[in-house]
Structure 1
Amino acid sequence: MLADVQAAPDSRGIQLDEVGIEGLRYPVLIADGQGGKRETVATAAMSVVLSSGARGTHLSRFIEVLHGAREQLTSSTAIGLADELRQRTETSSACVRLVFPYFLEREAPVTRSRAFVEYTCAVTASSNSSGALLTLSVQVPVTSVCPCSKAISDRGAHNQRGHVTIEARPSDHALDLWFDELIDVAEDAASSPVYTLLKRPDERHVTMAGYDNPVFVEDMVRNVCQVLSVSDRISAYRVRAVNDESIHNHAAFAEVSWTSPNGA
């Protein structure tokens, strides 16, 4: 029988907060908001608490657990993945984070031409003896038109690409919350969404629509907050908007965090 070195006792009396793997790229099937599945490649980080009396953990079990859950990633299965990792490694706490490109097919506003837009999404699930926590994250590309530039200029206004990032913790009864919904909230908060495919009539529409809806980064964050704060399906969130300024040698950002007062 081969020696199980990781399971050997350790006499130094030091508990490790996190032991695991990171940077693992792995194919997974992600549930989407339309009842289907989307194939993508996730970058995984998985960790457990290592007790003071154990020398190491069995990293091969991390891969086995991930492979067993790769066919259908949802809020519920992400929590189950973290819980299974905790049980398989016989530890008090486990955490799994998967980051991946998530593609949604979008229509151009006038011609209805269709193409996929890429969003960076992540799901983080943790499990311990007290229960489980889940956080969903989306990073959404947007366009913003500067309200100040529009107000003080005789012609035009400067605009720029930016990103709105939302990290949201679903309420206990809202495990159906998923990326599509958060992406829509972020896009609605900006001057305009970003499209992969625009024909000339679409470009004209997007340019004028953005000009009619100028927003600062502060506005985008507050616009998101107005939607998320009144939802009983979200118990906590963090929102961050960043603009890569087109006429300044810096980026502009705004950020806020919120937790439901009733702890839902």
Structure 2
Amino acid sequence: MNAPDRFRLPDVQSQPDQRNIAIDAVGVRGLRYPVAIASQGAPQMTVATFAMTVGLDGATKGTHMSRFVELLEARNTPYAVADLAALAADMLARLDARSGAIELRFPYFVRKSAPVSGVSSLLDIEVRWRVRAGADGVATTSMQVVVPATSLCPCSKEISSYGAHNQRSLITIEVDLKAPMTVEDLIGVAERSASCEVYGLLKRADEKYVTERAYDNPKFVEDLVRDVALALNADARVGGYVVEAENFESIHNHSAIARIARPA
């Protein structure tokens, strides 16, 4: 909004800079804001942490930091990953920039039913959406999920007279999107690649099921990332990707990790 003439103040940011050195990214980071996230059901309320930057030409002293917050204040509809390119275009227009990026991180809750009892509970997933808009007018969008799961060691199962050691795992998947995906789609890829899913609430019959399910479906950390990669390779919506699994070992005081990165 333009202030009345009697309140007009010097605009220092818009003054020329004699050094004439362009800046690749300038903006705000760590901006927490309540948002509604579009989901398969009703929109989900959460708190997102934003990072928003634009490129600055060498002749301009500074960007207008307040306009990043104005962009969020102006939005009154749920966020969807498919909307990020339009949001980035709006940001570039507001800040008179040719390139920029928006990142938002937020906890996303999925409601899951236990496998035997059917008791319902919420499980939290860490999600990151990112869009980069280039000077060529092309915007690229990516989505990342960090999904908890269970893995059971195939070697331990093979060599033990009874039992096998298992552990909680975190499966991180980041994909460059060629077409929209839902958060649930990517969570499903991670969970199907693990020895077993995890749940917020389990009864005894459910605990028996997940223990035996993991025992019947042993996975090394290498198996986790390879199975995720197979699923992503077969999905036309996915360009490049990075998959990482970390097993918080139950018989060691360190983690086991594996990573696969594939360019678009």
Band of TM-score, shorter chain? over 0.9
Contact 1:83 1:126 in 2 (8 A): no
Aligned equivalents of 2:57, 2:79: Cα separation in 1: 29
1:44 pairs, out of 31, 50, 57, with 50
Q: CA deviation at 1:78?
A: 1.4
Please identify, of 149-158 and 100-109, the stretch whose mean Cα deviation from structure 2 is larger. Answer: 149-158
Task: For structure 2, list consecutive stretches of 5 or more residues without a partner in the other structure.
Answer: 1-7
User: 1:33-80: per-residue Cα shift (whole Å, max 9, x none)?
Assistant: x24311000011001111111110001110111222353111232111
Give the greater-gyration-radius structure (CA): 2
Aligned equivalents of 2:55, 2:96: Cα separation in 1: 10
The residue identity in structure 1 corresponding to 2:49 is: T
The residue identity in structure 2 corresponding to 1:57 is: T
Partner of 1:238, secondary structure, is strand
2:30 is equivalent to residue 23 of structure 1: yes
Q: CA deviation at 1:129?
A: 3.2
Q: For residue 221 of structure 1, what is the aligned residue in structure 2?
A: 225
Contact 1:185 1:227 in 2 (8 A): yes
Q: CA deviation at 1:231?
A: 1.2
1:166 pairs, out of 169, 173, 183, with 173
Contact 1:164 1:239 in 2 (8 A): yes
After superposition, the Cα gap between the structure-2 partners of 1:103 and 1:162, relative to the gap in structure 1 and judged at 3 Å, is: same
1:129 pairs, out of 128, 135, 141, with 135
Aligned equivalents of 2:113, 2:240: Cα separation in 1: 31
Give the TM-score normalised by the residue count of structure 2.
0.94
Aligned equivalents of 1:70, 1:254: Cα separation in 2: 40
Aligned equivalents of 1:3, 1:14: Cα separation in 2: 23
Contact 1:6 1:55 in 2 (8 A): yes
Q: For residue 187 of structure 1, what is the aligned residue in structure 2?
A: 191
Task: Using the aligned pairs only, state the percent identity.
Answer: 45
Task: For structure 1, list consecutive stretches of 5 or more residues without a partner in the other structure.
Answer: none
The residue identity in structure 1 corresponding to 2:158 is: A
Q: CA deviation at 1:232?
A: 1.1
Q: Post-superposition, which runs of at least 4 consecutive aligned residues in structure 1 deviate over 6 A?
A: none
Q: For residue 154 of structure 1, what is the aligned residue in structure 2?
A: 161
The residue identity in structure 2 corresponding to 1:158 is: H
Question: What do you get for the CA RMSD once the two structures are aligned?
Answer: 1.1
Contact 1:83 1:128 in 2 (8 A): no
